[in-house]
Copies of this chain bind each other. A is one copy, B any other.
Amino acid sequence: MSKISIVKIGGNVIENSKVLQSFLSGFAKLEGPKVLVHGGGKKASQWADRLGIPAQMIEGRRITDSETLELITGIYGGQVNKNIVALLQALNCNAIGISGADGNAIKAVKRATKPINYGFVGDVTEVNSSFFKHLLEQGLSPVCCALTHDGSGQILNTNADTIASQIAIALSASFEVNLYYCFEKPGVLRAVEDENSLIENIDTAVYKELIETKIIHEGMLPKMKNAFDALQQGVSKVAIGKPEMIGSNTKHTSITL
Protein backbone atom coordinates (compact mmCIF):
# COMPACT_ATOMS: atom_id res chain seq x y z
CA MET A 1 0.00 0.00 0.00
CA SER A 2 1.21 3.50 -0.74
CA LYS A 3 1.68 5.95 2.10
CA ILE A 4 -0.52 8.96 2.73
CA SER A 5 -0.10 11.85 5.16
CA ILE A 6 -3.09 13.37 6.93
CA VAL A 7 -2.04 16.59 8.63
CA LYS A 8 -4.18 18.60 11.02
CA ILE A 9 -3.22 22.15 11.94
CA GLY A 10 -4.73 24.11 14.80
CA GLY A 11 -5.63 27.74 15.29
CA ASN A 12 -2.18 28.82 16.43
CA VAL A 13 -0.65 27.73 13.14
CA ILE A 14 -3.31 29.55 11.12
CA GLU A 15 -3.25 32.80 13.07
CA ASN A 16 0.41 33.63 12.55
CA SER A 17 1.05 34.20 8.84
CA LYS A 18 4.80 33.43 9.15
CA VAL A 19 4.15 30.16 10.98
CA LEU A 20 1.45 29.27 8.46
CA GLN A 21 3.67 30.05 5.46
CA SER A 22 6.51 27.99 6.92
CA PHE A 23 4.18 25.08 7.64
CA LEU A 24 2.64 25.21 4.17
CA SER A 25 6.11 25.17 2.55
CA GLY A 26 6.82 21.95 4.44
CA PHE A 27 3.42 20.50 3.58
CA ALA A 28 3.84 21.33 -0.12
CA LYS A 29 7.18 19.45 -0.15
CA LEU A 30 5.75 16.30 1.47
CA GLU A 31 5.96 13.49 -1.07
CA GLY A 32 3.02 11.29 -1.96
CA PRO A 33 -0.69 11.82 -1.47
CA LYS A 34 -1.66 14.13 1.38
CA VAL A 35 -4.65 15.74 3.06
CA LEU A 36 -4.70 18.89 5.18
CA VAL A 37 -7.33 19.49 7.87
CA HIS A 38 -7.62 22.88 9.54
CA GLY A 39 -9.55 24.46 12.36
CA GLY A 40 -10.57 28.09 12.45
CA GLY A 41 -8.58 29.83 15.13
CA LYS A 42 -9.56 32.90 17.07
CA LYS A 43 -10.82 34.80 14.05
CA ALA A 44 -14.34 33.43 14.52
CA SER A 45 -14.52 34.86 18.05
CA GLN A 46 -12.99 38.16 16.94
CA TRP A 47 -15.51 38.57 14.12
CA ALA A 48 -18.37 37.49 16.39
CA ASP A 49 -17.38 40.31 18.74
CA ARG A 50 -17.20 42.83 15.90
CA LEU A 51 -20.53 41.65 14.49
CA GLY A 52 -22.15 41.80 17.91
CA ILE A 53 -22.97 38.08 17.94
CA PRO A 54 -23.01 37.19 21.63
CA ALA A 55 -20.83 34.26 22.68
CA GLN A 56 -23.01 31.66 24.37
CA MET A 57 -20.88 29.35 26.43
CA ILE A 58 -21.88 26.23 28.37
CA GLU A 59 -19.20 24.57 30.50
CA GLY A 60 -16.50 26.49 28.65
CA ARG A 61 -17.73 25.42 25.22
CA ARG A 62 -19.14 27.78 22.67
CA ILE A 63 -22.68 27.07 21.48
CA THR A 64 -23.11 27.13 17.69
CA ASP A 65 -26.35 29.04 17.18
CA SER A 66 -27.53 29.87 13.64
CA GLU A 67 -25.69 33.19 13.45
CA THR A 68 -22.48 31.65 14.77
CA LEU A 69 -22.81 28.85 12.22
CA GLU A 70 -23.24 31.41 9.43
CA LEU A 71 -20.11 33.16 10.64
CA ILE A 72 -17.90 30.08 10.92
CA THR A 73 -19.16 28.74 7.59
CA GLY A 74 -17.70 31.95 6.16
CA ILE A 75 -14.49 31.93 8.16
CA TYR A 76 -13.63 28.20 8.15
CA GLY A 77 -15.05 27.33 4.72
CA GLY A 78 -14.20 30.59 2.94
CA GLN A 79 -11.66 32.92 4.43
CA VAL A 80 -9.27 30.43 6.02
CA ASN A 81 -9.79 27.59 3.55
CA LYS A 82 -9.47 29.58 0.31
CA ASN A 83 -6.41 31.46 1.54
CA ILE A 84 -4.63 28.22 2.45
CA VAL A 85 -5.53 26.78 -0.96
CA ALA A 86 -4.24 29.88 -2.80
CA LEU A 87 -0.98 29.79 -0.79
CA LEU A 88 -0.50 26.07 -1.55
CA GLN A 89 -1.17 26.67 -5.25
CA ALA A 90 1.64 29.26 -5.19
CA LEU A 91 3.89 26.50 -3.74
CA ASN A 92 3.01 24.18 -6.64
CA CYS A 93 0.81 22.00 -4.45
CA ASN A 94 -2.45 21.37 -6.32
CA ALA A 95 -4.79 21.91 -3.37
CA ILE A 96 -8.58 21.74 -3.40
CA GLY A 97 -10.52 23.15 -0.47
CA ILE A 98 -13.55 21.23 0.74
CA SER A 99 -16.13 21.11 3.48
CA GLY A 100 -17.96 17.90 4.31
CA ALA A 101 -20.80 18.96 1.99
CA ASP A 102 -18.58 19.16 -1.11
CA GLY A 103 -18.74 15.90 -3.02
CA ASN A 104 -20.68 14.58 0.00
CA ALA A 105 -17.22 14.17 1.57
CA ILE A 106 -18.18 13.92 5.24
CA LYS A 107 -21.63 13.29 6.63
CA ALA A 108 -22.53 13.99 10.22
CA VAL A 109 -25.50 13.87 12.54
CA LYS A 110 -26.53 16.87 14.60
CA ARG A 111 -25.64 16.21 18.22
CA ALA A 112 -28.54 15.39 20.53
CA THR A 113 -29.82 18.50 22.30
CA LYS A 114 -29.72 16.81 25.71
CA PRO A 115 -28.14 17.03 28.22
CA ILE A 116 -26.56 20.10 26.59
CA ASN A 117 -27.80 21.78 23.41
CA TYR A 118 -24.61 22.69 21.58
CA GLY A 119 -26.59 23.93 18.57
CA PHE A 120 -25.43 23.20 15.03
CA VAL A 121 -22.67 20.79 16.01
CA GLY A 122 -22.23 17.53 14.13
CA ASP A 123 -20.68 14.16 14.92
CA VAL A 124 -19.16 12.38 11.91
CA THR A 125 -21.08 9.36 10.65
CA GLU A 126 -19.50 8.68 7.26
CA VAL A 127 -16.41 9.64 5.27
CA ASN A 128 -16.78 9.26 1.49
CA SER A 129 -13.42 7.59 0.91
CA SER A 130 -14.01 7.06 -2.82
CA PHE A 131 -14.45 10.82 -3.27
CA PHE A 132 -11.14 11.44 -1.46
CA LYS A 133 -9.45 8.73 -3.53
CA HIS A 134 -10.67 10.26 -6.81
CA LEU A 135 -9.25 13.64 -5.83
CA LEU A 136 -5.95 12.09 -4.72
CA GLU A 137 -5.68 10.07 -7.96
CA GLN A 138 -5.88 13.38 -9.87
CA GLY A 139 -2.86 14.59 -7.91
CA LEU A 140 -5.04 16.93 -5.86
CA SER A 141 -4.45 17.55 -2.15
CA PRO A 142 -7.74 18.02 -0.29
CA VAL A 143 -7.75 20.87 2.26
CA CYS A 144 -10.62 20.19 4.67
CA CYS A 145 -12.26 22.70 6.95
CA ALA A 146 -14.11 21.80 10.14
CA LEU A 147 -17.57 21.73 8.58
CA THR A 148 -19.73 18.72 7.73
CA HIS A 149 -23.31 18.33 6.48
CA ASP A 150 -26.26 16.21 7.49
CA GLY A 151 -27.39 15.27 3.96
CA SER A 152 -30.58 17.30 4.38
CA GLY A 153 -29.10 20.68 3.57
CA GLN A 154 -27.70 21.58 6.98
CA ILE A 155 -24.05 22.53 7.51
CA LEU A 156 -22.70 21.46 10.91
CA ASN A 157 -19.73 22.67 12.96
CA THR A 158 -17.48 19.68 13.62
CA ASN A 159 -14.31 19.18 15.62
CA ALA A 160 -11.29 19.35 13.29
CA ASP A 161 -9.26 16.76 15.27
CA THR A 162 -12.09 14.28 14.83
CA ILE A 163 -12.44 15.08 11.13
CA ALA A 164 -8.73 14.34 10.72
CA SER A 165 -8.91 11.01 12.55
CA GLN A 166 -12.08 9.96 10.71
CA ILE A 167 -10.54 10.71 7.30
CA ALA A 168 -7.41 8.83 8.41
CA ILE A 169 -9.47 5.80 9.46
CA ALA A 170 -11.52 5.81 6.24
CA LEU A 171 -8.40 5.96 4.07
CA SER A 172 -6.56 3.27 6.04
CA ALA A 173 -8.35 0.59 3.98
CA SER A 174 -6.47 1.84 0.89
CA PHE A 175 -3.33 3.50 2.26
CA GLU A 176 -0.68 3.22 4.94
CA VAL A 177 -1.81 6.32 6.85
CA ASN A 178 0.40 8.67 8.87
CA LEU A 179 -1.68 11.08 10.91
CA TYR A 180 -0.08 14.28 12.25
CA TYR A 181 -1.62 16.65 14.79
CA CYS A 182 0.27 19.95 14.62
CA PHE A 183 -0.09 22.65 17.25
CA GLU A 184 2.02 25.15 19.19
CA LYS A 185 3.63 22.65 21.61
CA PRO A 186 6.32 20.07 20.79
CA GLY A 187 3.91 17.29 21.75
CA VAL A 188 2.33 15.86 24.89
CA LEU A 189 4.00 17.42 27.95
CA ARG A 190 4.15 16.18 31.57
CA ALA A 191 4.12 19.82 32.64
CA VAL A 192 2.14 21.97 30.22
CA GLU A 193 4.45 25.01 30.57
CA ASP A 194 7.71 23.04 30.28
CA GLU A 195 8.67 22.06 26.74
CA ASN A 196 11.47 19.89 28.17
CA SER A 197 8.85 17.62 29.74
CA LEU A 198 7.95 16.17 26.32
CA ILE A 199 6.79 12.56 26.35
CA GLU A 200 8.28 11.14 23.15
CA ASN A 201 6.40 7.85 23.12
CA ILE A 202 2.95 7.08 24.40
CA ASP A 203 1.54 3.58 24.16
CA THR A 204 -1.67 2.23 25.66
CA ALA A 205 -0.04 1.55 29.04
CA VAL A 206 1.50 5.02 29.30
CA TYR A 207 -1.82 6.54 28.14
CA LYS A 208 -3.69 4.80 30.97
CA GLU A 209 -1.10 5.93 33.49
CA LEU A 210 -1.31 9.53 32.23
CA ILE A 211 -5.11 9.52 32.53
CA GLU A 212 -5.05 7.95 36.01
CA THR A 213 -2.44 10.33 37.36
CA LYS A 214 -4.25 13.26 35.69
CA ILE A 215 -0.96 14.46 34.30
CA ILE A 216 -2.21 15.30 30.82
CA HIS A 217 -3.58 18.78 30.21
CA GLU A 218 -7.36 18.66 29.80
CA GLY A 219 -7.31 20.00 26.26
CA MET A 220 -5.03 17.17 25.17
CA LEU A 221 -7.38 14.34 26.18
CA PRO A 222 -9.76 14.45 23.17
CA LYS A 223 -6.74 14.67 20.82
CA MET A 224 -5.25 11.56 22.47
CA LYS A 225 -8.57 9.75 22.31
CA ASN A 226 -8.81 10.54 18.57
CA ALA A 227 -5.23 9.25 18.16
CA PHE A 228 -5.92 5.90 19.85
CA ASP A 229 -9.25 5.52 18.00
CA ALA A 230 -7.36 6.02 14.74
CA LEU A 231 -4.66 3.47 15.60
CA GLN A 232 -7.22 0.90 16.72
CA GLN A 233 -9.04 1.31 13.41
CA GLY A 234 -6.14 0.81 11.05
CA VAL A 235 -4.10 4.03 10.98
CA SER A 236 -0.36 3.19 10.96
CA LYS A 237 1.21 6.11 12.82
CA VAL A 238 0.02 9.10 14.83
CA ALA A 239 2.30 11.98 15.79
CA ILE A 240 1.55 15.07 17.89
CA GLY A 241 3.86 18.10 17.83
CA LYS A 242 4.91 21.36 16.25
CA PRO A 243 4.34 21.88 12.51
CA GLU A 244 8.11 21.55 11.95
CA MET A 245 7.87 17.81 12.65
CA ILE A 246 6.38 17.33 9.15
CA GLY A 247 9.18 16.08 6.96
CA SER A 248 11.93 16.62 9.55
CA ASN A 249 13.33 14.95 12.67
CA THR A 250 12.06 17.51 15.18
CA LYS A 251 11.17 15.90 18.51
CA HIS A 252 7.48 15.14 18.93
CA THR A 253 5.18 12.64 20.60
CA SER A 254 4.62 9.34 18.81
CA ILE A 255 1.47 7.48 19.73
CA THR A 256 1.45 3.69 19.40
CA LEU A 257 -0.93 1.00 20.60
Given the complex, which residues of B lie within 8 Å of A74, measured CB to CB?
74-75, 78-79
Identical copies in the complex = 2
Q: Does A115 contact B (CB under 8 A)?
A: no
Q: Does A68 contact B (CB under 8 A)?
A: no
Within 8 A of B (CB), among A188-246: none
Within 8 A of B (CB), among A144-159: 147, 149, 151-155
Per DSSP, chain A at the interface is: helix
Subset of 15 A-B contacts with CB under 8 Å: A70-B79, A73-B78, A74-B74, A77-B79, A77-B81, A82-B99, A83-B155, A85-B149, A89-B104, A90-B152, A94-B103, A96-B98, A97-B98, A103-B140, A134-B138
Q: Does A184 contact B (CB under 8 A)?
A: no
**What total of chain A residues lie within 8 Å of the partner, measured CB to CB?**
40
B155 touches A86 (CB 8 A): yes
Q: Does A50 contact B (CB under 8 A)?
A: yes
